[in-house]
Amino acid sequence: MRLVDLYRVSGQERCRARQRGVLLGTVGYLLALGVLLLLRLVGITRFSTAHWLGALGCTVAIQALLWSAPRFGWDARLKWDRHYIYVPMIVAVGLLNGYIYMAPEVRFILMMVWFAALLYTVGYAGALSVLTLNLMFAACYLIVIFGLTDPSRIGSTAFELAVVGSFLIITAYAAVVFESLRRERRSMKDLQRQLLEASITEPMTGLYNYREFYRRLQEEIHRAERYGRSFALLLVDIDRLKAVNDLHGHLKGDALIQQVARLIRENIRPSDVAYRYGGDEFFVLLPETSREGAQTVAERISRIIAATSLLVGPGQVIYPTVSIGLAVYPEHGRTTEEIIVAADRALYVAKQARSSPP
């Protein structure tokens, strides 16, 4: 199992984050509508109460739909909008230009709101995406101003084109800045991933370490308790590692540990996770696995390791073996300690059986 799968953001967390973003946008729209109403009261702009109420109702309805999309999983269908930012921004294009149509006298204030809306994309949208959104806003603005608005309420054609040109120049600069921020965010996430990887993996084998093992085992117990499922735990111990160290040196002993770790990792399912517990011991966590299934995995691992040679000297190879203890939840225990103790006892029995004469 990959690290990204172990620490993937849950669906609920993603849903809440997206809903918070939509609510924040809704507050911004309501503030804009409140300012428009205030400007109407002081005589700076003019529009009917029916138009304002219609804009309010449309805003609330659309934002409610955007808020509901993550809750019901509709956003998962938007493969082209992985972070769920482009659909809300397209909605912002429509709503803000609708406000401009209602109150063209204060269109420059509403265009400033667009710059605030662009902050929604910081770290997620690149330069091309931001430029596309800006061009979309500018195109809608021109349609509203020249196609739908009373000419007496706007400036000359040259003036409006100059406004749009200035808008595009400023937003193009913003697109360049946002691209830089997106790259920095990616670099930061890569660094965080590397630090996380280093903190929970064991450097010699690349397997997860014992701290991560305890965390994941507790998590698996909680999942099994909640859904009434079982899981299995294998405790793998390399036989006679000390003899290899004494006869061939610790470098060959390390090579043996690395080989066993690699063979374990290559011969378990993608959903299974291997850990180096320390020294010559490894844990393998097998989610949703019965005793019979775990025994099959244990036999396969043991057989493959025993069939793989290790070069320990010129023309000299050994065929290492392992002993494996098996414990199953809830048959052998319901707590972390009980499961580990059960696997350790089973390993002791397996070692005794291997050392006993036939």
Q: Is 230 helix (H, G, I), strand (E, B) or coil?
A: coil
What is residue 244's predicted lDDT score, i.e. its pLDDT?
Answer: 92
Confidence category of residue 194, pLDDT binned at 50, 70, 90: confident
Percent of the chain at pLDDT exceeding 90: 73
Tens digit of each residue's pLDDT (9 = 90 or more) over 85-104: 999 999 999 999 999 999 99
Mean pLDDT of the chain: 91
Torsions phi, psi for 206 (to 5 deg): 80, 0
Confidence category of residue 120, pLDDT binned at 50, 70, 90: confident
Tens digit of each residue's pLDDT (9 = 90 or more) over 284-307: 999 999 999 999 999 999 999 999
Query: Domain boundaries in the chain?
Result: 3-197, 210-355
Confidence category of residue 144, pLDDT binned at 50, 70, 90: very high
Question: Quick one: angle between helices 241-248 and 250-266, nearest 10?
Answer: 140
What is residue 10's predicted lDDT score, i.e. its pLDDT?
Answer: 63
Confidence category of residue 2, pLDDT binned at 50, 70, 90: very low
pLDDT average, residue stretch 134-157: 93
Is the pLDDT at 155 greater than 50, yes or no? yes
For 59-83, give one letter per residue: b (16+ CB within 10 A) or e.
beebbeebbebbeeeebeeeeeeeb
Query: What does the alpha-carbon distance between residue 58 and residue 98 come to, in Å, rounded to a whole number?
Result: 10
Query: What does the alpha-carbon distance between residue 238 and residue 305 come to, in Å, rounded to a whole number?
Result: 10
Alpha helices in the chain (DSSP H): 3-6, 11-41, 49-72, 86-102, 107-118, 127-143, 157-200, 210-227, 241-248, 250-266, 291-306, 336-355
Bridging pattern class, strands 231-238 and 310-313: unpaired
Is the pLDDT at 1 greater than 70, yes or no? no
What is residue 76's predicted lDDT score, i.e. its pLDDT?
Answer: 86
* 313 Cα distance to chain centroid: 46
From the options 3.30.70.270, 3.40.50.1220, 3.40.50.150, 3.40.50.720, give the CATH code of 210-355.
Answer: 3.30.70.270
Q: Which residue has the tokens 């690349």?
A: 206
pLDDT average, residue stretch 323-350: 94
Q: Give the predicted TM-score (pTM) of the model.
A: 0.65
Is the pLDDT at 9 greater than 60, yes or no? no
Tell whether the torsion through CA atoms of 75, 76, 80 and 82 is positive or negative: positive
Q: Is 89 helix (H, G, I), strand (E, B) or coil?
A: helix
What is residue 356's predicted lDDT score, i.e. its pLDDT?
Answer: 58
